[in-house]
Amino acid sequence: MTIEVKSHAELLLMRRAGLVVADGLAEMCEAAAPGVTTAEIDAVGREVLARHDAASSFLGYGEVWGNPFPAVACISVNDELVHGIPGDRVLVDGDVVSIDFGAVVEGWHGDAARTVIVGTEDPADRALIDATMQAMWAGVRAVRAGGRVGDVSRAIEESVKAQPVRYGSLREYTGHGIGSEMHMEPDVPNWYRLRPTPKLGVGMAIAIEPMLTRGLNQTLELDDGWTVVSRDRSRGAHWENTVAVTDRGLWVLTEPDGGAGMLGDLFGPLAE
């Protein structure tokens, strides 16, 4: 397995892509409200990409196997867990909405996801989202030069298991290396297996993305060839960031502050 190593200049381009992703997610989350369709939220993402002169990582993805993704964001509602296709679905009060968004700047990708509740919050949905976000940050904090992908997987799994509520954690879908393509080696599973995993080093970047449900972790793919739902119809949440390993520490490319607020001494951005 070869993991792409980025130069300083390439990581700066990935940071630009990451900031476009952060911008787009902020605006799309803001747009998610009762009465709004998921296609309208996707249109907000398209506007952000156009404003920054960035391309979409998602639009047309899958063309090689004959099912190109038709939108710039995956928008998944309630028991839809990931890869939901934006369309004429109208959001209603209390919906749990996961938005996954990617951008390309000069050939370099950023990828991140957020989950929001539209209108009135069910406290159990809020707890699910918080648990998913916490698991993602636990994974990010486990990244280090000389460490292994398995450290990240274990940190995510332990974070989920430490919750007072038992959640399903998806196994068929994983985080991934990212850079000159959106999905690259290595896979970054959200669960730990006692087996060798790739070593991480300076210049590498991975997308860390736990996907949790309020029920079990079994999934189904719908006939559209994209939308992944929970078999037990339980609601899900998805939180993702793109993280780079620099010679100074960690840089969360898809967070506006680069991760400064969450990483403490681990935070190590490159000079822009």
Residue with smaller CB distance to Mg ion, 36 or 183: 183
Return d(Cα 54, Cα 209) in angstroms, integer.
23
Task: Tell the smallest beta-carbon distance from residue 221 to Mg ion (Å).
Answer: 17
Residue 189, preceding peptide bond in cis (omega within 30° of 0): no
Residue with smaller CB distance to Mg ion, 10 or 111: 111
Q: Which residue has the tokens 């904090």?
A: 141
65 within 8 A of 226, measured Cβ to Cβ: no
Residue with smaller CB distance to Mg ion, 111 or 157: 111
Task: Tell the smallest beta-carbon distance from residue 178 to Mg ion (Å).
Answer: 7
Residue with smaller CB distance to Mg ion, 123 or 213: 213
Task: Tell the smallest beta-carbon distance from residue 87 to Mg ion (Å).
Answer: 21
DSSP character string of 188-222: E-SS--SS--PBP-TT-EEEE--EEESS---EEE-
252 within 8 A of 124, measured Cβ to Cβ: no
Task: Tell the smallest beta-carbon distance from residue 113 to Mg ion (Å).
Answer: 7
Return d(Cα 116, Cα 239) in angstroms, integer.
10
Residues that bind Mg ion (CB under 5 A): 111, 207
